[in-house]
Structure 1
Amino acid sequence: MINFCTLFNSAYLSRGLAMYQSLLRHCDDFHLYIFAFDEGCLQTLRDLKLEHASIISLEEFEDDALLAVKPERTAGEYCWTCTSSTIWYCIHEYGLESCTYIDADLLFFSNPKVLIDEMGTSSVLITEHRYTPRYDQSDLSGIYCVQFITFKRDEWGLAALSWWRNACLEWCFKRFEDGKFGDQKYLDDWTTRFEGVHELNHPGGGVAPWNVQQYSFLKRDKRVMLREIASDNIADVIFYHFHAFKYAQGNVFHLTEDQYDIADDAVQFLYKPYAQAILEAENLITSVSSQAIFHEPLFNLDWVNRVYGRKFSFMLTGRYKNYFRRRKLLSQ
């Protein structure tokens, strides 16, 4: 069995549930430990009675060390602070041999077991950002992305996890300072700082807006696959990271930050399935609670509507930059 953990609040509820549902479709044997970061999220998740998930409240999870730093961190910074502690909690509270943290805004397109298997006898698995050169933010955001990170319950795995947890308790902010940024830049030197750290090789683990330009996408036998443009190698897409995906006014989705170029084939094979997964998650949520909050406040689109050319183009095509009308994404 693969043990995963994640954390999110009501603002990410539909995304987190879509991620869980994608694991149900593609992972034969897994359990997901979900840390619910507000009461509404906690209650809705418990009402959903997810068969392959355990729902953990802040009251159960937070210890004195976390509570001591919580007042000085923003909500986002506190989530980053807690990431390593969720893994630590799962390994020790449930006696797990290993645990993989996954971001709530991932969607799985194939079985992630292949990624875990790749680490072999290593104790820690980390994933590179693999930035497209024009988007390289390694100096600020780090070489590696916390999105999918595995620790085994052995000497090297626990040593790395304990060090990371203590570092995040000491400092975890959304600013660059003394070579640090959030929880993520701490990972930069792990392949030399710790024994038993494996850097993921599989190209289908960690596809994201900052590297999607390096691939074209296709479908074979119902499997979403990528072709590396530089090498022409083909591989399964294991998961995509829907970073900065936002709900916007007027039944619009903002796919990601506008700096990132998202090609039509990525929209077709990645973002359209995600929109469908989000819709299905929303329907599940509203089936147990019509009043549940499951996304962030709607992003304001007045800046689009103020300019006639933008407004007309959006009306005509259903798309402006990385803004898409929901119906366009849900169409075949």
Structure 2
Amino acid sequence: MLNFCTLFDSVYLSRGLAMYNSLSQHCQRFHLYIFAFNEKCYSVLQALQLENVTVISLSEFEDEELLRVKPARTRAEYCWTCSSSTILYVLNHYSVDHCTYLDSDLYFFSSPQVLLDEMGDNSVLITPHRYTRQYDQSKKTGIYCVQFVTFKNNQQGRTVLEWWRNACLEWCYARFEDGRFGDQKYLDDWPERFEGVYVSQNLGGGVAPWNMQQYEFERLESNVIGTELKTNKKFPVIFFHFHSFVFVTPDYFSPRPYYKRNETSIVLLFKPYVEEIKRIRSNYPAIQTSELYLHGWKYYKYLLELFVRRGLKEKKYIKLLHEN
């Protein structure tokens, strides 16, 4: 049994449900603990009665320490503050031997079981950003990405997890300061600071906009296979991290044009995600009213970047993304 937790509010409902559906497709036995970060999100999830899911409200989850720091943090900063606490909550309240935190904008293309197998007897699993050189922000945002982080329910795992929670309670902001950034830079020295921390070597665990330029992708039967250009090493894509995915209008979605991509990545990675988001939103129209779209100057800035700076190639990608 694989145990996961995630957190999101109503703005991320369709993305969170897309992640859950992809897990359901590729995992035979799993349980997902969803921390609903506002009342609308909680009520929608409760009504859906999703299989293999436990929905936890903010009133159940928040403790005195979290409530103490909450007023001084933005919405995003508070979510980052809480990531470690959601894992600890699951370990403390449910009889599980491990828990993996998932960002709600992940989408699985194959089972993550191989990542849990890879960590072996270690107690903590972390995944690198693997930045492409031109996008490398590791000095500011961290070597490792808080996207897929596993903790076993043992002394080693709890030692790291409780240290991380306490650090995030003390400081967790969306700025680089004194070697810290959000909840993420804290992970940089874990392999040296703690025993039992394993860094995943599987390239398929953490394909993302900031590293996909290093790979070519192809479909092999039901799998999406990546090939690392530098080594010619092949690997199944386990999950893609849809960071910077833009909801432009209720019917129009786009990857941010900041990161370079090609036609194959659009068709094999982005298009299935868009189709799943559209299917979810069609089945549950109420979700659309809770999600945020570009408006005002943000909308015109996006169009300028998209069509003026990127030109015809970007128009081609957008057409591929949305055509039936």
- The aligned amino acid for 1:285 is Y
1:104 match: 104
For residues 6-34 of structure 1, the C-alpha deviation after alignment (integer angstroms, 9 at most, x for no partner) is 00011111000000000011011100000
Measure, in 2, the Cα distance between the counterparts of 1:231 and 1:125: 24
How many angstroms does 1:235 deviate by? 0.8
Measure, in 2, the Cα distance between the counterparts of 1:9 and 1:139: 30
2:122 match: 122
**Counterparts in 2 of 1:250 and 1:111: CA distance versus 1, 3 Å:** closer
How many angstroms does 1:281 deviate by? 1.9
1:54 match: 54
CA contact (8 A) 1:14 1:294 kept: no
Quick check: 1:215 aligned with 2:233? no
Equivalent residues in 2 for 1:160-309, closer than 5 Å: 160-249=160-249, 251-256=251-256, 258-286=257-285, 290=286, 293-299=289-295, 300-303=298-301
Measure, in 2, the Cα distance between the counterparts of 1:176 and 1:321: 37
> How does the TM-score come out when normalised to structure 1?
0.91
1:77 match: 77
For residues 73-128 of structure 1, the C-alpha deviation after alignment (integer angstroms, 9 at most, x for no partner) is 00000000000000000011112110000000000000000011100000000000
Q: Which runs of 5+ in 2 are unaligned?
A: none
How many angstroms does 1:52 deviate by? 1.1
CA contact (8 A) 2:90 2:99 kept: yes
Measure, in 2, the Cα distance between the counterparts of 1:285 and 1:225: 32
Higher RCO structure (Cα 8 Å, ≥6 apart): 1
- The aligned amino acid for 2:102 is I
Equivalent position SS for 1:84 = helix
How many angstroms does 1:320 deviate by? 4.1
CA RMSD of aligned residues (A): 2.0
Measure, in 1, the Cα distance between the counterparts of 2:303 and 2:227: 37
CA contact (8 A) 1:97 1:152 kept: yes
**Which region of structure 1 is more displaced relative to structure 2, 292-301 or 120-129?**
292-301
Equivalent position SS for 1:210 = coil
Measure, in 2, the Cα distance between the counterparts of 1:131 and 1:291: 33
Measure, in 1, the Cα distance between the counterparts of 2:218 and 2:24: 23
Measure, in 1, the Cα distance between the counterparts of 2:304 and 2:110: 42
CA contact (8 A) 1:249 1:301 kept: no
Measure, in 2, the Cα distance between the counterparts of 1:265 and 1:49: 36
How many angstroms does 1:212 deviate by? 0.3
Measure, in 2, the Cα distance between the counterparts of 1:69 and 1:266: 40
**Counterparts in 2 of 1:27 and 1:59: CA distance versus 1, 3 Å:** same
Alignment coverage as a number of residue pairs: 320
